[in-house]
Amino acid sequence: MTTPLPTGAVIGILGGGQLGRMLSVAASRLGFRTHVFEPGANPPAGHVADRVTTAPYEDEAALRAFAETVDVITYEFENIPTSALDVLEALRPIHPNREALRISQDRLTEKTFLTEQGLTVAPFADIPDAAALEAALETVGTPSILKTRRFGYDGKGQARLKAPSDAAGALEAMAGAPAVLEGFVDFSCEISVIAARGPSGEVAAFDPGQNVHRDGILRTTTVPAKVPQRLLTDAVLAAAKVLNALDYVGVLGVEFFVTPQGLIVNEIAPRVHNSGHWTQNGCAVDQFEQHIRAVAGWPLGDGKRHADVVMENLIGDDMDRLPDLAKTPDCALHLYGKADVRPGRKMGHVNRITRG
Amino acid sequence: MTTPLPTGAVIGILGGGQLGRMLSVAASRLGFRTHVFEPGANPPAGHVADRVTTAPYEDEAALRAFAETVDVITYEFENIPTSALDVLEALRPIHPNREALRISQDRLTEKTFLTEQGLTVAPFADIPDAAALEAALETVGTPSILKTRRFGYDGKGQARLKAPSDAAGALEAMAGAPAVLEGFVDFSCEISVIAARGPSGEVAAFDPGQNVHRDGILRTTTVPAKVPQRLLTDAVLAAAKVLNALDYVGVLGVEFFVTPQGLIVNEIAPRVHNSGHWTQNGCAVDQFEQHIRAVAGWPLGDGKRHADVVMENLIGDDMDRLPDLAKTPDCALHLYGKADVRPGRKMGHVNRITRG
């Protein structure tokens, strides 16, 4: 058993974006203070954090000073440089653990790991070079998607192949980065599970949400998902399998394609996840607090949903709809305090309570 | 029409306690930053504020510097020194306005104002001295309660008179402060209304909650209240009358005694109110966001309740129950991050969702 962190303890958060912001607010609800480490200036999380360190991940002294002020370290994104983790891990516990990061930082490692767990993923192939791509077009075929192994998010670092003739262009779009080719999956819809595991091994999952993406970016998540219960159960079990295999502590997001042959895992994210934002208005303990509870060694919430919710991301010009949304009944706004509206930039989200 | 404050605007909050803390979190949800002004060190609101100024209300330079960084000023408590308000008001708008503060800062002024609005209050008498108390014992009688006109809260600055022989002791307890004698009200229960008014005059109220006090401190608020609908409507109308009479902008709390003769107003509070904490888990827009919306010139939420909630304050040693509460389903914890547990000190609250 882990001793739960007491009131007043400090949670260190790597990354100062909207996820760090909402983690910080959740931590405050449990009486914790937060210290955010973020290279960029004026991070959204900084508005609601007790402390902010502005420094690059290469600044070893800043990392040490940060670690020494906190009781435990977590993160809002998976692409933290290994060298920074080495410095931090020597000083304070980091949850979720390095193994979860190692696996989710690399699409090839991740797909291999998921396959080893007995989960189904789309056909894939390692693409270190043009020859490998040519070979993979025989096995994986087209349509397919070439993705960089690392650092891709929200549709970035991806190129679609409609036919073998797209190969050269797609490879060029990778700019020399190691890549993986994924076979196209003919799915009826996408769902995701947000699940958590505590230090003593307890697991809790929120109801799976049904997701709609556009241009590679999540647009809406709806709960309950209109998917047979059998598949929703499969999804929760798959998430639990991943959590246990990784001896994981914290919240994990798992995305699935729903196909006639059952579920295919799209990807995992070792952190709170955009498709779990609905929990802020649908559950007594939301995904952000659930993550903080796990990281702090507190009992997990049971994940029970007391309201039906449609979460919609507010992206770029969607902010023009703010005056209307603010007037719409049953709508809970969650804005991120970002100064500049840019196309494709997540500016906030709205949780519409469709049944209370 | 007021122009709504844009994302990134700064809300100044006077007072850094738990109400300021939850106001700051609500402001962040709308994309605002907050600057908290608080004389005490390490204020709970500071953990989730963008900026904190630690200075006494007598520090004119600090007040000016604070005002110059914010777009609008509000407060979490009504006992702000008049001299500080004079400095601030010359620089930035303050909501709710001075008149609301003037009236609610003084029990005698408040009771006179409420009576002028046609609302019923308990029998009362101005007690500047012993002679006045002797005379008031004839009109108001006993049992009754002697209260300081100013600076009383959570049962402080009060003395009960069971019989006229208690007069001398009660007066002594006032320590020379001007007081008011209130007749005892034989009530069946207590309810309160949390209502808001925007700059354009729109009014919205949350469902009235039923309150239980012990030792002068609120223990629980339950919604829905088990009180005839007619009286709940009366309560909302009374709150609206007060809001309009004061040309009020922000959230107001009004406490009522329910008696066989109808409602008797106990007191008003020109701010978010402990008995409105249930809205955090029962409404899409809670009382804290509602207050920020009013102060920022945004449209108000409609106050609709989507869940039944029992709010329980965690006072002093109630914090020992935390391990159990953290494990109880349907319980949303809201802790204030206060370092020291002291008897009678509000350390947090828990919202139990009893029907979703």
CA B261/CA B140 separation, integer angstroms: 18
- pLDDT by 10-residue block (mean), chain A, 356 residues: 87 98 98 98 97 98 98 95 95 97 95 98 96 95 94 78 95 92 95 98 98 95 97 98 98 98 96 98 98 98 97 97 97 96 96 95
Q: Are B170 and B137 in contact (CB under 8 A)?
A: no
Interface test with A, best of B19, B22, B48, B336 (most A CBs within 10 A): B48
Q: Smallest Cα–Cα separation from A8: which of B57, B46, B58, B344?
A: B46
B302 chain-A contacts, CB cut-off 8 A: 329
For B356, which of A29, A49, A356 is closest by C-beta distance?
A356
For A330, which of B33, B284, B335 is closest by C-beta distance?
B284
Task: Please answer yes or no on whether B30 and A284 come within 8 Å at the CB atom.
Answer: no
Secondary structure in 3-state letters for B192-219: EEEEEECCCCCEEECCCEEEEEECCEEE
For B33, the enclosing helix (H) or strand (E) is: strand B33-38
Provide the strand spans (E) within chain A: 10-14, 33-38, 51-54, 72-75, 124-127, 144-148, 158-161, 179-183, 189-197, 203-205, 209-214, 217-223, 250-259, 262-269, 308-315, 331-335, 346-355
Quick one: closest CA in A to B294, which residue?
Answer: A326
Task: Find where tokens 């991050």 sit.
Answer: B337
Task: Find where tokens 């108001």 sit.
Answer: B140
- The two tokens of residue A234 are 């499969």
Task: Please answer yes or no on whether B31 and A331 come within 8 Å at the CB atom.
Answer: no
Question: Same fold for the domain at B123-183 and the one at B189-355?
Answer: no
The predicted pLDDT at position B339 comes to: 87
The predicted pLDDT at position B155 comes to: 66
Task: Please answer yes or no on whether A306 and B29 come within 8 Å at the CB atom.
Answer: no
A332 chain-B contacts, CB cut-off 8 A: 29, 284-285
Interface test with B, best of A47, A289, A331, A340 (most B CBs within 10 A): A47
For B299, which of A4, A326, A336 is closest by C-beta distance?
A326
CATH of domain B189-355: 3.30.470.20
A270 beta partners: none
Task: Please answer yes or no on whether B293 and A326 come within 8 Å at the CB atom.
Answer: yes
CA distance B52 to chain A (A): 10
Q: Are A180 and A141 in contact (CB under 8 A)?
A: no
CA distance A3 to chain B (A): 11
CA B2/CA A345 separation, integer angstroms: 29
Task: Mark the ranges of chain B whose per-residue pLDDT is less than 50.
Answer: 1
Q: Are A74 and A250 in contact (CB under 8 A)?
A: yes
For B332, which of A285, A331, A338 is closest by C-beta distance?
A285
Q: For residue A175, give every residue at least 6 positions away whose Cβ sits within 8 Å of its Cβ, in sequence order, or none.
A: none
CA B214/CA A227 separation, integer angstroms: 50
A353 chain-B contacts, CB cut-off 8 A: 284, 306
A32 chain-B contacts, CB cut-off 8 A: 337
pLDDT digits (tens, 9 = 90+) for A93-133: 999 999 999 999 999 999 999 999 999 999 999 999 999 99
CA distance readout (Å), B323 to A7, A292, B7, B232, B277: 12, 15, 38, 36, 21
The B72-75 sheet, strands edge to edge: B51-54, B33-38, B10-14, B72-75
For B330, which of A304, A335, A336 is closest by C-beta distance?
A304
Task: Please answer yes or no on whether A337 and B285 come within 8 Å at the CB atom.
Answer: no
CA distance A67 to chain B (A): 18
The predicted pLDDT at position B216 comes to: 86
Task: Please answer yes or no on whether A348 and B46 come within 8 Å at the CB atom.
Answer: no
CATH class of A10-94: alpha beta
Q: For residue B163, give every residue at least 6 positions away whose Cβ sits within 8 Å of its Cβ, in sequence order, or none.
A: B142
Annotated binding site of A: 107, 147, 152-158, 182-185, 190, 213, 266-267
CA A174/CA B17 separation, integer angstroms: 52
Quick one: closest CA in B to A47, which residue?
Answer: B50
A305 chain-B contacts, CB cut-off 8 A: 356
Q: Smallest Cα–Cα separation from A26: which of A222, A296, A207, A218?
A: A296
How does DSSP classify residue A194? E
The predicted pLDDT at position A242 comes to: 98
Query: In CATH, which superfamily holds the domain spanning B123-183?
Result: ATP-grasp fold, A domain (3.30.1490.20)
Amino acid at B297: G
For A332, the enclosing helix (H) or strand (E) is: strand A331-335
Q: Smallest Cα–Cα separation from B318: which of B348, B339, B338?
A: B348
Task: Find where tokens 């009235």 sit.
Answer: B208
The predicted pLDDT at position A157 comes to: 85
Task: Give the DSSP per-residue string, A3-32.
Answer: PPPPTT-EEEEE--SHHHHHHHHHHHHBT-
**Domain assignments of chain A as residue spans, ordered by start:** 10-94, 123-183, 189-355
**B147 has binding-site annotation:** yes
A181 beta partners: A125, A146
Indicate the SS3 state at residue A100: helix
The predicted pLDDT at position B153 comes to: 65
The predicted pLDDT at position A21 comes to: 98
Secondary structure in 3-state letters for A115-141: HHCCCCECCEEEECCHHHHHHHHHHCC
Quick one: closest CA in B to A332, which residue?
Answer: B284
Task: Please answer yes or no on whether A7 and B323 come within 8 Å at the CB atom.
Answer: no
- The two tokens of residue B317 are 């040693």
Annotated binding site of A for ATP: 107, 147, 152-158, 182-185, 190, 213, 266-267
Task: Find where tokens 């397919």 sit.
Answer: A144
Task: Please answer yes or no on whether A28 and B337 come within 8 Å at the CB atom.
Answer: yes
For B28, which of A32, A298, A337 is closest by C-beta distance?
A337
Task: Please answer yes or no on whether B337 and A33 come within 8 Å at the CB atom.
Answer: yes
ipTM of the complex: 0.95
Interface test with B, best of A51, A333, A340, A352 (most B CBs within 10 A): A333
Cβ count near A352 (within 10 Å)? 20
Task: Please answer yes or no on whether B339 and A293 come within 8 Å at the CB atom.
Answer: no
Burial of A73 from C-beta contacts in 10 A (0-12 / 13-18 / 19+): buried
